[in-house]
Structure 1
Amino acid sequence: MPEKFDVIVVGAGPAGTACAYTCAKEGLKVLLIERGEYPGAKNVMGGILYRKQLEDIIPEFWEEAPLERPIVEQRYWMMDKESMVTMGYKGGEWAEKPYNNFSVLRAKFDQWFAQKAVQQGAVLINETVVKECIVKDGKVIGVRTDRPDGDVYADVVVLADGVNSLLGKQLGFHRELKPQEVALAVMEVMKLPEKTINERFGLEGNQGVSVEIFGDSTNGALGTAWLYTNKDSISIGVGITLSGLIKEKKKPYEQIEYVKNHPMIRPYIEGAESLEYLAHLIPEGGYNSIPKLAGHGVLLVGDAAHLVNGIHREGSNMAMASGKMAAETVILAKQAGDFSENMLDSYRTKIYDSFIGQDLKKYKDATHTFEENPQYFKEYIPLMNKAASKLFSIDGTSKKEKQKEIMKSFTSGRGKLGVVQDLYRAWKVMK
């Protein structure tokens, strides 16, 4: 007879593993299925892990998890072709335990996290593809895998199979994604000596820095590039909406090479040796793209539920929080012996009432607004750089005259009314 579990989790990324760990810890019989050779083999994220959500699952995880560096500084670069305006924050409190967040390498971290779930009693199966959910009388009762006699049954199936969730589509939870609702992120891990990293980024000991880069790094298209310090390597990447790649007629590998060779970035990675190249789709639609989250015997978590805050580049924290909330819902359903949509729908309420739903709702129109108004990236960031150059150049021109010239440069293209409208539009979607 086929094996029967309390819960099957499809996908051993942060969301799926958080769910599996939490369920197993409460004594449920859990199967965690991963299609990769090992957890993390097919996963990629920018490389920043946020502490709070994992701490809620595994207290003091930083004492044993394979973390790279605690991030003590967040920098933002508004980049033009040969210049950049910089801003950021460096916090001494971030350098002390329990820290704030960390740089990580997913191949290492995901394996560790999945093993923690195994230690709690979860069964992990790698290199296994779930082809479809098994549905009977409108209820999901298990999954069909690509293994011989690969049907496995459970009271609840949790889908953590990524942004393009084929299983979610088969169930009718997902519609086809629009090009502006998903970004293609490419990242390269490059080896550099720890001493060199510290010298170039102004760091001490194991301190780390994360850099978010806007403007010319994406050729003015909607997206972000990033530069994160690891122990003895650097993660460099760029993510652009598919619609932006189409408009700019750019291939992903061309874009990351452009970023690596940009005069503002090249000095930070000079002499670095490429270790790994990764590519991944990231949901960017936000609040308006969240699919149905619960059905009879099934829940969606993490990227499969499109729980990513593209404005603040938050995904792993929302993934783990959603996995934990899904697990809590499954545990209550098990206690009640009720796995109906009505019972499991309390998970949807948890999501929308949490920081996840509140933050995604706050920025629900931001992606669409910036997508439809490319001047924010294509025009205003270069103008910001030119304005800074003019203001900080000591050339005998009075500051009053410089301010007039700067204001004129901002209004010459779109007019004063156009600039005011742009400022109001941006404020409205970000407030």
Structure 2
Amino acid sequence: MIRLSVFDAIIVGGGLAGSTAAYVLAKQGLEVLIVERGNYSGSKNMTGGRLYAHSLEKIIPDFAKEAPVERRVDKEYIGMLTEKDAFVIKYHSPRLAAAGSDSYVVLRGKFDRWLFDKAEEAGAITAAGVKVDQLIVEDSRVTGVICAGEEIRANVVILADGVHSLLAEKAGLREKVRPSQVAVGVKEVYQLPAKVIEERFGLAGEEGAACLFAGTPTNGLTGGGFLYTNRESLSVGLVLSLQHIGENNKTVEEMFTNFVSHPEIAPLIKDGKLLERSGHMVPEAGLSMVSTLFGDGFLICGDAAGFCLNIGYMVRGMDLAIASGELAAKAVIKAKEKEDYTASSLKVYKTLLDDSFIMHDLSVYKKFPAFIENERLFNQYPTMISNMMADIFVIDGTPAIPLRKRMKKHISAAGIMNLVRDGIRGVRSL
């Protein structure tokens, strides 16, 4: 491994947050080492997902022209599923693809590797396939890392090592992540010809679709199903709250099988060749999960800091990871100007975060994670909507009943007061 006596920064984790931090620091001429335990960046990440472009666009303008993005999202689908039924809303607009508000489906194994390489091109020293065993802590200050018994020193260590951030926990820098704060994501990738994907989703050229589903996919657990269109494959999966998985009467495998077999999903992946199965833990508790962000000689960013936003109809993590990596780098640059790497100097990172969209957006939706811990959202309400749609559209020759009476029947079954209370809570959480 190439090393200096002391690096300006060592970054642990070569995902989006870590690679962005390394890129920004290296572009400013700082001596940076980025360590990734996978054989290459992205090798241990779930394949597939959605990247809102705004944060990376500010750092690497027109990045999508060279980056291995799959498709630009032009269509949004939000659906509620019961065992056999589906109620799906589609939104299709050129505003989704406009510069500044565009987003892309990406395969993380490809995209993360590209960004990691961009950091190396900018001058960062990269080390893939290397595991950091522990942090070096001296007089309550982080001064480096230990890899395979070798000590490597730095003025600052940036932890971007994923949702658990085991290094921070082991060193006592943050509390252990609780099951209620995370979700488990499971995903499969199915290969299909580009033409078939475009026909099934009504896409043209580079257009793509992002689909989110609630209801039976999670068998009453907090979470949902998703489907993203890649160039020549589909990423399909579930995200489920970890806290109550063991209490459910179905295994994760059974829930996933039911999801991909659903009449709404099965035709979309029909004849697809299974390429990959993967699983991953993701932060899920929003602002309440954000704890220690900085200290003497260290910063925490990305998933390790808990930066993820799930508001049901939209899931964001990549843009927050990239922006937090950039801000961590800016904090290190400011610290280097003063040659002061104590917590009092590095707290500028928190100031930068507070002034950014990251903390603003997390604060706006801080009540939403608690709101969706409501089984009615995943059981009664999808069933209610499905039954309402059936009463509206199914004609079988029986004498008609006034629509208002039919709707009232289904509302009463779900509970009028439940709807009122949940409606008020939902509005307040958003």
Same fold by TM (over 0.5)? yes
Q: Which residue of 2 aligns with 1:302?
A: 302
- Is the Cα contact below 8 Å between 2:97 and 2:103 reproduced in 1? no
**Could you tell which deviates more after superposition, 282-291 or 299-308?**
282-291
Residue number among 364, 369, 378 corresponding to 1:362 in the alignment: 364
Amino acid at match of 1:384: I
**Alignment partners' CA distance in 2, 1:3 and 1:296:** 19
2:170: which partner in 1? 170
Corresponding position: 1:21 with 2:23: yes
User: Does the C-alpha gap of structure 1 residues 286 and 275 become closer, same or farther in structure 2, counting only changes over 3 Å?
Assistant: same
Gaps of 5+ in 1: none
Q: Is the 8 A contact 1:210 1:226 kept in 2?
A: yes
**Structure 2 residue 200 is the aligned partner of structure 1 residue 200:** yes
- C-alpha displacement of 1:292: 0.7
Aligned to 2:139: 137
Partner of 2:240: 240
AA at the equivalent of 1:196: V
More displaced 10-residue stretch of structure 1: 374-383 or 248-257: 248-257
How big is each residue's C-alpha offset from its partner over 1:358-409, in whole Å with a ceiling of 9 and x where there is no partner? 21122222222321x2112111111111111111234567987222221222
What displacement does 1:2 show? 6.7
Distance 1:348 1:398, change over 3 A: farther
- Partners of 2:115 and 2:103 lie apart in 1 by 16
In structure 2, C-alpha distance between the alignment counterparts of 1:332 and 1:209, rounded to whole Å: 41
Tell me, in whole angstroms, the C-alpha distance in 1 between the residues paired with 2:46 and 2:351.
28
TM-score by length of 1: 0.95
Alpha-carbon distance between aligned partners in 2 of 1:370 and 1:102, rounded to the nearest angstrom: 26
Q: Deviations over 1:117-161 (max 9, x none)?
A: 001100110111111110111111100112xx5211000000000
Matched, 1:387 2:393: no
Deviations 1:221-246 (A, max 9, x none): 11021100011100011110112322
Amino acid at match of 2:240: I
CA contact (8 A) 2:211 2:226 kept: yes
Q: In 2, are the aligned partners of 1:46 and 1:226 still within 8 Å (CA)? A: no
Cα deviations by residue, 1:191-239 (Å, 9 ceiling, x for unpaired): 0011110111111122110101111111121102110001110001111
- 8 A contact 2:223–2:240 mirrored in 1: yes
The corresponding residue for 1:421 is 421
Q: Secondary structure of 1:317's match?
A: helix
- The structural deviation recorded for 1:45 is 6.2
Provide the residue aligned with 2:179 in structure 1: 179
- Percent sequence identity is 38
In the alignment, residue 376 of structure 1 is paired with which amino acid? L
Q: Which moved more, 1:108-117 or 1:421-430?
A: 421-430
Q: For residue 88 of structure 1, what is the aligned residue in structure 2?
A: 90
Name the count of aligned residue pairs. 426
Q: 2:379 aligns to what SS in structure 1?
A: helix
Q: How does 1:184-263 map to 2 (within 5 A)?
A: 184-263=184-263
Segment drifting more, 58-67 vs 418-427: 418-427
> Is 1:41 aligned to residue 43 of structure 2?
yes
Residue deviations 1:13-40 (CA, integer Å, cap 9, x gap) = 0000010000000000000000000000
Task: Report the CA distance between 1:99 and its aligned residue.
Answer: 6.9
SS of match in other structure, 2:54: helix
Partners in 1 of 2:95 and 2:365 — Cα distance? 28
Rounded to whole Å, the distance in 2 between the matches of 1:412 and 1:95 is 41
Measured at CA, do residues 88 and 172 of structure 1 come closer, stay the same or move farther in structure 2, by a change above 3 Å?
farther
Deviations 1:89-141 (A, max 9, x none): 21124456677011111111111111110011001101111111101111111
Asked if structure 2 preserves the Cα contact closer than 8 Å seen for 1:285 and 1:367, the reply is yes
Which has the larger displacement, 154-163 or 241-250?
Answer: 241-250
User: Using a 3 Å threshold, how does the CA distance of structure 1 residues 310 and 413 change in structure 2: closer, same or farther?
Assistant: closer
Which deviates more, 44-53 or 376-385?
A: 44-53
Partner residue in 2 for 1:329: 331
1:412, 1:77 → 2: CA distance? 21
Closer, same or farther in 2 for the Cα pair 1:5/1:247, shift >3 Å? same
Q: Helix, strand or coil: the match of 1:419?
A: helix
Alignment of structure 1 residues 93-172 onto 2, 5 Å:
93-95=95-97, 100-146=102-148, 149-172=149-172
Deviation, 1:167, is: 1.1
Task: Answer whether contact 1:2 1:151 (CA < 8 A) is retained.
Answer: no
- CA RMSD in angstroms, aligned pairs only: 1.8
What SS class does the counterpart of residue 175 from structure 2 fall into? coil
CA distance in 2, matches of 1:328, 1:425: 38
Q: Is 1:275 aligned to 2:272, yes or no?
A: no
